[in-house]
A and B are shown apart, each in its own frame.
Chain A
Amino acid sequence: MIDKQRLKLARIRFDLLFLLISKDLRLRYRGSLFGYLWSMLNPLLQMMVLTAVFSFLVRFKIENYPIFLLCGIVLWNLFSQSLTQGANAIIANGGLIKKVKVPVAIFPTASVASVTVHFVLSLIAFFAISFFMGHWPRLIWFLIPIYLFVFIGFIWGITLAISSLNVLFKDIGHVLDPILQLCFYGTPIIYPISVLPESIANIVALNPLTHFVGSIRTLYFDYQVPNATTTIYCFGLMTLSLLFGSFTYYKTRDKFVFRL
């Protein structure tokens, strides 16, 4: 009986999540000419700019550099957009949270989910370019979704923590942008980790993103299974992030009403 009720509650939450995602997607492109095409065009344009810059200014010895770069950018966008959107998710819904009993965590979750939907849309363009450039799929790509799933879990935890803390300390919203910028350059996205001197490479290895981007890129770009250490790292980081996120959320959520 209780399980049945729980099941119903879970269904209702899922419906709400679905509504919030579709609301987000619909609003983002309402009134724009290209609509959903932008989800695909955006990373493409970004790739073109960065390829142009880095093919001429800095030359990394990588075959098929645009594909290498695009893979990194798409993953990076998934991370940074989730965080920037998620950070304000609770504050933006403050009016509602103050007046109606809602599962507050659903708002940052919806942000991550809708960015994920975007990500999936951008994959269409991504694979089209990839094939066009002669980078063909192999069976090993079937492992990519597993690592992606772990990465999204990691992002979810972080977003939950940031969105909760942002309600109590508005500084977080301001600090987020420079930190993200630092992360962008501190993660091997535009460059391979092999170009770094060992001392700096060790520091970069401390960055969790290095492992997530690295593992997926190994699968996609090098057609190789990421080594065990990286895999354990990724799963461990996801667990830690989810624990940290939910701990922060449960610790702070009773104060939201007074701070919004």
Chain B
Amino acid sequence: MSSDSSPIIRASNLRLSYQLNTYKVDTLKEFLIRKFKRQSVFQQKVALKDISLEVAEGECIGIIGHNGSGKSTLLKILAGVIRPESGSLSVSGTLVPLIELGAGFDPELTGRENIFLSLSIQGYSRQEIERFVPHIESFSELSNELDQPVKTYSSGMYMRLGFSCSTVAAADIILIDEILAVGDQNFQKKCLQKLDDLRKKGTTIVIVSHDLATIESIASRLIVMNAGQKVFDGPIDEGVLFYLDLMEQKRQTALSKAELAELNRKAKLADEPTPLEQNAKIVSVNVFTSDIEPITPTSTVIIEIKLAILRETTDFPSVGFAIQTAKTGIRILGGNQYSLGMQGRHPIPKSGMYSTSIYLKNLQLASGKYDVTVGLHTKDLTKTLDIKPAVASFEVQCISDPQNFDRDLISPRCVVGSWKVTAQKDMGSHNNCPGELQI
């Protein structure tokens, strides 16, 4: 990331307002009547107020905000789909918007024909596209289906083709809007991997989402939008705290006055400094292994939890985890640092971002998929601060039994110590020496 070089995207004082839906004039009659009555034809709603933004080449920034904060509108302006009312925008370099995967695919056309159409719309010449086709074919894993109409594709295949088309050309800038929330998990992983590769090659990425975890995993800088304004622009860690705090304030103002009074009264009675519920949030959960992939029954599995503490509290919250089977949801084990007696030296819970890593050694699980649930509780476990059920997952592959025919939960190979086979004397006369089998 070179922040001193000239920015690849430079926007200044972007402003946009549009007509509210209730005042939408759709027919000529309505339009003329309103004109005639000298009524304002449209009621204006300001979607973006004086947004200025600079993105350096190779930077990866996230834009976050609740619904209607203008984040998608901003992205569409950057993509050139919407022209701002005032303000200036300069983008140097090629730009690909991933606002919707496979936007502009014609269902009647074959996959191959759609590749040409889609990339042609992106602005590539015929010869360039012809060079891209083999790459798309291999990345999308659709070489057999490429000559069939897209309407026969499953939604997953559709997404794969769309993503391949959008990323094959390695544009200078990629704009992403929520698309990673869809598709199956393997595909998501592949997409994230591809985006990571592109980022390493120096592609500038702007991603819009309201999912903190997605943004946190990609972006290094965060912009928080609220009511059409940029209210924060800075490093991701500070941004996450700022956003969570903002959301909390919104939640509180959304409560009615009576509810608020009741809450305050209770807080006074209980003599608590501040209700802790609002003060800690899980930001992201990541499960991986420190050993070689894939995870085997004996590998060390690490659950990395990032959490944000919004206001200073007395005790560090209890960080709990549980592992359950992905298919059947059977809980295998779980606990938190207090119940496991591992409180050790906790930092004084000032506001900020914290990271907790739980090392699970020798987990001995059988082949299969497992989900991880993470929760934050008060130290005395009476109150839940935040809980994310099945927020992450991992897969164990036992080499001796990769299919797990018996649907074991625990890998038998690691539990069974020895195996004895003894022949009874009266069963046969030939083979009567006792044998012992050692695994």
User: Which residues does A use to contact B, with CB under 8 Å?
Assistant: 8-9, 11-12, 15-16, 19-20, 23, 26-27, 30, 93, 95-102, 169-172, 254, 257-258
Nearest 6 pairs of A and B residues by beta carbon: A101-B80, A96-B104, A99-B103, A16-B120, A99-B99, A169-B28
Q: Is the CB of B122 within 8 A of A11?
A: no
Asked if A258 meets B121 with Cβ closer than 8 Å, knowing A27-B109, A99-B103, A101-B80, the reply is: no
Contact A96 B103 (CB under 8 A): yes
Whether A95 and B125, one on each chain, are in contact in the complex, defined by CB atoms closer than 8 angstroms, is no
* Residues in A whose Cβ lies below 8 Å from that of B99: 99-100
**A contact residues around B79 at 8 Å (CB):** 99-101
Please give the distance in Å from A96's CB to the nearest CB on chain B: 4
| With contact pairs A99-B97, A169-B27 given, residues A16 and B121 touching in the complex (Cβ less than 8 Å) | yes
Contact assessment for B126 and A96 in the assembled complex, using a CB-CB cutoff below 8 Å: no
Q: A19 CA to B97 CA in the complex, in Å?
A: 21
Q: CA A96 – CA B122 in complex, angstroms? A: 11
Name the residue on A nearest B27 (C-beta). Answer: A171
Identify which of A97, A100, A169 contacts B97 (C-beta below 8 A): A100
* Contact between A12 and B120, CB atoms less than 8 A apart: yes
| A residues near B26, Cβ cutoff 8 Å | 169-170
- For residue B359, CB closer than 8 A to chain A, the reply is no
Residues 74-92 of B, flagged 1 when their CB comes within 8 A of A and 0 if not, give 0010011111000000000
| A12 touching B123 in the complex, CB below 8 Å, given contacts A19-B117, A27-B109, A257-B82 | yes
Q: Within residues 1 to 53 of chain B, which ones have a CB less than 8 A from any CB in chain A? A: 18-19, 26-29, 31
Q: Does B145 contact A (CB under 8 A)?
A: no
| Complex contacts, A20 vs chain B, CB 8 Å | 117
Q: How far is the CB of A34 from chain B (nearest CB, A)?
A: 19
Residues of the B chain whose Cβ atoms lie less than 8 Å from the Cβ of A26: 109, 113
Interfacial chain B residues near A99, Cβ < 8 Å: 79, 81, 97, 99-100, 103-104
Closest chain A residue, CB of each to CB of B24: A259
Let me know if B211 is at the binding interface, CB within 8 A: no
In the complex, what's the smallest C-beta–C-beta distance from B115 to chain A, in angstroms? Answer: 11
A254 to B84, CA, bound (A): 9
Of the residues A11, A12, A100, contact of B81 by C-beta under 8 Å: A100
Residues of A within 8 A of B122 (CB): 100
Are B76 and A23 interface neighbours, CB within 8 A? no
Q: Given contacts A15-B120, A96-B104, is CB(A258)–CB(B19) below 8 Å?
A: yes
Q: Which residue of A lies closest to B106 (CB)?
A: A23
CA distance A100 to B103 in the complex (A): 8
Q: Which residue of A lies closest to B18 (CB)?
A: A258
Tell me whether B321 is interfacial, beta carbon within 8 Å: no
User: What are 12 sample pairs from A and B whose C-beta atoms fall under 8 A apart?
Assistant: A12-B124, A23-B106, A26-B113, A27-B108, A27-B109, A95-B104, A96-B121, A100-B97, A169-B28, A172-B28, A257-B81, A258-B19
Beta-carbon nearest neighbor of A257 in chain B: B82
With both chains docked as a complex, state the minimum distance between the C-beta of B174 and any C-beta of chain A, in angstroms: 13
CA distance A98 to B73 in the complex (A): 11
Q: How far is the CA of A235 from the CA of B273 in the complex (A)?
A: 83
Indicate whether B116 reaches chain A with its CB closer than 8 angstroms: yes
Q: How many angstroms between the C-alpha atoms of A102 and B79 in the bound complex? A: 10
How distant is B4 from chain A, measured CB to nearest CB, in Å?
27
Residues of B within 8 A of A16 (CB): 120-121
Chain B nearest CB, measured from A15 CB (Å): 5
**Distance of A230 Cα from B121 Cα, bound (Å):** 40
Q: Which residues of B contact A8 (CB under 8 A)?
A: 125
| List of A residues within 8 angstroms of B19 by Cβ | 258
Task: Judge whether A19 and B27 touch: CB under 8 Å.
Answer: no
Besides the contacts A23-B106, A97-B81, what 7 more A-B pairs have beta carbons closer than 8 Å?
Answer: A11-B125, A15-B126, A27-B108, A30-B108, A99-B103, A100-B99, A169-B26
With contacts A19-B116, A96-B121, A171-B28 taken as known, whether A101 is within 8 angstroms of B81 at the C-beta atoms is yes
Q: Which residue on B lies nearest to A174, using beta carbons?
A: B27
- Given A8-B125, A100-B97, A258-B19, residue A23 in contact with residue B113 (CB < 8 A): yes
One digit per residue, 1 when the CB lies within 8 angstroms of any chain A CB and 0 when it does not, for chain B 215-237 equals: 00000000000000000000000
Separation in Å of the A167 CB from the closest CB of chain B? 10
Q: Which residues of A contact B126 (CB under 8 A)?
A: 15
Min CB distance, B208 to chain A, in Å?
Answer: 13
A102 touches B31 (CB 8 A): no
- Which of the listed residues B28, B76, B104, B123 has the most CB atoms from chain A within 10 Å of its own CB? B123
Which of these, A11, A102, A254, contacts B121 with CB under 8 Å?
A102
